[in-house]
Amino acid sequence: MPETLFQKVWNRHVVKATDEATLLYIDLHLIHEVTSPQAFDGLRLARRKVRRPDLTIATVDHNVPTENQLDIREPMSRRQVETLRDNCKEFGLTLFDVHGGRQGIVHVIGPELGLTLPGTTIVCGDSHTSTHGAFGALAFGIGTSEVEHVLATQTLWQGRRPTSFGIEVRGKLAPGLEPKDIILAIIRQIGTGGATGTVVEYYGPAIEALSMEGRLTICNMSIEAGARAGLIAPDDTTIQYIATGNRPFAPQGAALEMAIADWRTLKTDDPSAFDRHVVLEADKIAPQVTWGTNPAMTVDVTGRVPEPDKVPFASSEDARRALDYMGLTPGTPITEIPVDVVFIGSCTNGRIEDLRTAAKVLRGRKVAESVRALIVPGSEQVRHQAEAEGLDAVFREAGAEWRESGCSMCLAMNPDKLTPKQRSASTSNRNFEGRQGPGGRTHLVSPAMAAAAAVAGHFVDVRPMLAQGN
Amino acid sequence: MEPFKTHRGKVAVLDWTDVNTDLIIPARYLKRVERVGYGPLLFADKRYVPGGAPEADDPDKHGPEAPDFPLNRPAAKGATVLVVRKNFGCGSSREHAVWAVAQAGFRAVIAPVKGEGFADIFEGNAYGNGLLPLELPEGEWEAIAEAGRSEQGAEVTIDLEALKLTLHSSSGEKTFAIEVPEAQRHRLLNGLDAIAETLLDEPAISAHEAKAPAWITPQPA
């Protein structure tokens, strides 16, 4: 019987299986300040220890102010960050704290430090843990009770094994198009619940052509289609990334050779092993812009705000509520929607390639007077790399704000927020009501499209801008 | 955890699809480090009059309830069973969403269509907190929702031991079979601590660790 990559990784982590539940071993547990305090409290109450401190890594990201990481003025945010510091000390865990050189969004630092490895299981109390699947790791988000369970046992109970869902992306992305456009196009096609109960594997020429950064963007948003996890089979690009970068936690020497030999076996034997399968043609994808309040409410930049009775996966009532919240009139061309704030960053698009793309658009251009543009590196390492390449100067000269690393305006848990009715072009992952601040209106786009909107003051097709250069 | 054997309570119906966890509890309330006090934060941006959402550092301080929010209807007052539409709890993994639902007094959530009612992480979190997530066939779900939407409302009895649900409404009683995975049912019936149960398998965990390849453990750096 041919097996999928997902089944192979799952099978090698089964500690115990009953008819309807499986105890899975967890190879890496990432922790941040928001979803862990109650788990540590639980351990203390039961007088339990962390079973494997060496497989548990913590950082602070959600609450960290990006103007000055050291200056957390909001008392509740400060308390949450300090609680994590205290817990890491008490339980003997490695914490990558601000200004230590390795802090960043948990899903950005895992890969760049060489913690994220093919064939492993990775969990974190954060739904975007699916990001790490780009390396062929089975990675998924968990709740706080499960965080406590993993801390105490290094395992996790899973119910019925998810099914395998193959998403094949054929062809080649046209210039000006980005991985973000692929994943938005996928969610638009299958809906926000389209992959519930499944583990998605992305494959095909358009996926293989992507860098690790691009693959991370795709897997990151798997959860926005309801998937338990998203996977991409490891290949030369993956191995190159781990073996040649500065990855302090990755295996070295003989251990690395052994690991590589193993990673080469990690692929789906035959697409017939997938329980379900869809195909997308990359050549046909145009730059994507969300208009509504979930990531499936997406159209081409050349399109218009839809009529409420023509919205896939939503009742006309749901669609009307979304239009009303977003303050949009059906029939409005997307390129006539003005933006107030541009946010480039997050675990979806806060990596070095994303910043290079944004810089390509902004070089020699100016952010429109009416727009506030925030550019937020996903980690301290990304920030240092960008500064070494002079990207920060490009951003500043264009009139954008160059910030310190953190989750920033993705989720309104730190000072970077939209005010009510403010409209953003955002490279993050969720356009839910209030996600970027109460009453804020979020449109999800790629970094290139966000940078283009910053210059134009409204949404605009970035393709001609990139073609004409500066 | 409080055991769940049988439960009878009023239903409240929320007729929205794809209700995400940001809607169930907005991120600004996730800064709390406590495990209790989330009840008033359930649907914080929808449930109170504009500007009346609770203060982040004092959840009990909030404005009056918005009369048009479905959970605030007189027939839904004091409800302990929440009836929702498909893909409830999608989005963020925050367990705070389940804490908010449970601490607002709900013991069960009922959604339509097996395998489509709940987002995966929400469903797992619900079981972990003794909140029963039930998926029913569309027709049975509709019968409960319709009765719940009526002016006088409705009640249900959920019998986890006998695996059945009885709808009590003005048009009489109807009983449906329910499905709950056996391991979850066992834990709910007995109010078991999942960690203590797992640690009974400690030898199997150690055996797995003993055969893990060396490259899997992060290098000390």
- Domain containing B164 — which CATH number? 3.20.19.10
Query: What are the beta bridge partners of residue A123?
Result: A29, A140
Q: For A251, name the nearest residue in chain B, comparing CA atoms only.
A: B215
Q: What is the dihedral of CA A45, A51, A55, A56, to 10 degrees?
A: 10
Q: What is the dihedral of CA A5, A7, A9, A11, to 10 degrees?
A: -150
Put simply, the answer to whether B93 touches A142 (Cβ < 8 Å) is yes
Q: For A439, name the nearest residue in chain B, comparing CA atoms only.
A: B45
Q: Is B20 helix (H, G, I), strand (E, B) or coil?
A: strand
- List of E strands, A47-120: 56-59, 94-96
Using the Cβ of B68 and the Cβ atoms of chain A, whether some distance falls under 8 Å is answered with no
A429 close to A343: Cβ distance less than 8 angstroms: no
Chain A residues within 8 A of B24 when measuring between CB atoms: none
Chain B residues within 8 A of A35 when measuring between CB atoms: 30, 93-95
Distance from CA of B60 to the nearest CA of A (A): 16
How many other CB atoms sit within 10 Å of the CB of residue A464? 10
B199 in a structural domain: no
Chain B residues within 8 A of A117 when measuring between CB atoms: 215-216
Total number of domains constituting chain B = 1
**Which one of B28, B90, B93 has the shortest CB-CB distance to A125?**
B93
B202 in a structural domain: no
Chain B residues within 8 A of A255 when measuring between CB atoms: 214-215
CA B63 → CA B44, B47, B59, B67, distances in Å?
10, 10, 11, 12
Put simply, the answer to whether B205 touches A432 (Cβ < 8 Å) is no
- Please, which residues 5-44 of chain B have a Cβ atom closer than 8 Å to chain A? 16-18, 20, 22-23, 26-28, 30-35
Residue A232 — φ and ψ, nearest 5°? -135, 135
Put simply, the answer to whether B91 touches A55 (Cβ < 8 Å) is no
> pLDDT per residue over A337-364, tens digit each?
999 999 999 999 999 999 999 999 999 9
A59 close to A42: Cβ distance less than 8 angstroms: no
> pLDDT per residue over B36-46, tens digit each?
999 999 999 99
Chain B residues within 8 A of A54 when measuring between CB atoms: 217-218
Distance from CA of A64 to the nearest CA of B (A): 12
The pair of three-digit structure tokens given for residue B197, joined into one six-digit string: 């149960």
**Which one of A23, A38, A144 has the shortest CB-CB distance to B198?**
A23
Chain A residues within 8 A of B68 when measuring between CB atoms: none
B110 in a structural domain: yes
B201 in a structural domain: no
B150 in a structural domain: yes
Distance from CA of A159 to the nearest CA of B (A): 8
Q: For A35, name the nearest residue in chain B, comparing CA atoms only.
A: B94
CA A41 → CA A37, A59, A87, B25, distances in Å?
6, 18, 9, 21
Put simply, the answer to whether B198 touches A114 (Cβ < 8 Å) is no
Chain B residues within 8 A of A313 when measuring between CB atoms: 18
Tell me the one-letter amino acid at A99.
H
Put simply, the answer to whether B98 touches A143 (Cβ < 8 Å) is yes
pTM: 0.95
Cα dihedral across residues B191, B193, B194, B198: positive or negative = negative
Q: For A160, name the nearest residue in chain B, comparing CA atoms only.
A: B181
Name the nearest CA neighbour of A419 among A399, A403, A442: A442
For residue B192, the model assigns a pLDDT of 87
Put simply, the answer to whether A127 touches B91 (Cβ < 8 Å) is yes
Put simply, the answer to whether A226 touches B129 (Cβ < 8 Å) is no
The pair of three-digit structure tokens given for residue A202, joined into one six-digit string: 């992305």
CA B85 → CA A93, B63, B134, B141, distances in Å?
41, 27, 12, 9
Using the Cβ of A192 and the Cβ atoms of chain B, whether some distance falls under 8 Å is answered with yes
Which of left, alpha, beta for A413 (phi over 0: left; psi -120 to 50: alpha)?
A: alpha
B157 in a structural domain: yes
B207 in a structural domain: no
Q: Is B13 helix (H, G, I), strand (E, B) or coil?
A: strand
A286 close to A302: Cβ distance less than 8 angstroms: yes
Mean pLDDT of chain B: 95
**Rounded to an integer, what distance in angstroms lies between the CA atom of residue A219 and that of residue A273?**
20
Put simply, the answer to whether A141 touches B93 (Cβ < 8 Å) is yes
Residue partners of A354: CB distance under 8 A and separation at least 6: A213, A217, A344, A427, A447
Put simply, the answer to whether B18 touches A314 (Cβ < 8 Å) is yes
Name the nearest CA neighbour of B107 among B58, B157, B146: B157
A167 close to A201: Cβ distance less than 8 angstroms: yes
**Rounded to an integer, what distance in angstroms lies between the CA atom of residue A162 and that of residue B122?**
15
Q: What is the mean pLDDT of each run of 10 residues along chain B (221 residues)?
A: 93 96 96 95 97 94 96 96 97 97 98 96 95 98 97 97 97 96 92 90 97 91 59
The pair of three-digit structure tokens given for residue A469, joined into one six-digit string: 């250069």
Using the Cβ of B55 and the Cβ atoms of chain A, whether some distance falls under 8 Å is answered with no
Distance from CA of B216 to the nearest CA of A (A): 7
Distance from CA of B173 to the nearest CA of A (A): 31
Chain A residues within 8 A of B215 when measuring between CB atoms: 117, 251, 255-256, 258-259, 262
B220 in a structural domain: no
For residue A404, the model assigns a pLDDT of 98
Tokens 């914080």 locate to B44
Residue B36 — φ and ψ, nearest 5°? -120, 170
Helix count and strand count (H, E) for chain B = 8, 7
Name the nearest CA neighbour of B136 among B183, B203, B85: B85
- Please, which residues 398-437 of chain A have a Cβ atom closer than 8 Å to chain B? 411-413, 430, 432-435
Q: For A258, name the nearest residue in chain B, comparing CA atoms only.
A: B215
Using the Cβ of A155 and the Cβ atoms of chain B, whether some distance falls under 8 Å is answered with yes
Q: What is the dihedral of CA A237, A240, A245, A250, to 10 degrees?
A: 110
Put simply, the answer to whether B90 touches A192 (Cβ < 8 Å) is yes
- Please, which residues 234-263 of chain A have a Cβ atom closer than 8 Å to chain B? 248-252, 255-256, 258-259, 262
For residue A469, the model assigns a pLDDT of 61
Put simply, the answer to whether B87 touches A192 (Cβ < 8 Å) is yes
Return contacts of B135-141, CB within 8 angstroms, 24+ apart. Answer: B135/B110, B135/B111, B135/B179, B136/B110, B136/B111, B136/B112, B136/B165, B136/B176, B136/B178, B137/B112, B137/B113, B138/B112, B138/B113, B140/B176, B141/B83, B141/B110, B141/B111, B141/B112, B141/B113
Put the strands of the sheet holding A138-141 in their side by side order. A94-96, A56-59, A28-31, A121-124, A138-141
Residues of chain A with pLDDT under 50: none
Query: What are the beta bridge partners of residue A163?
Result: A198
Rg (CA), chain A: 21
Give the domain extent around B123: 6-194
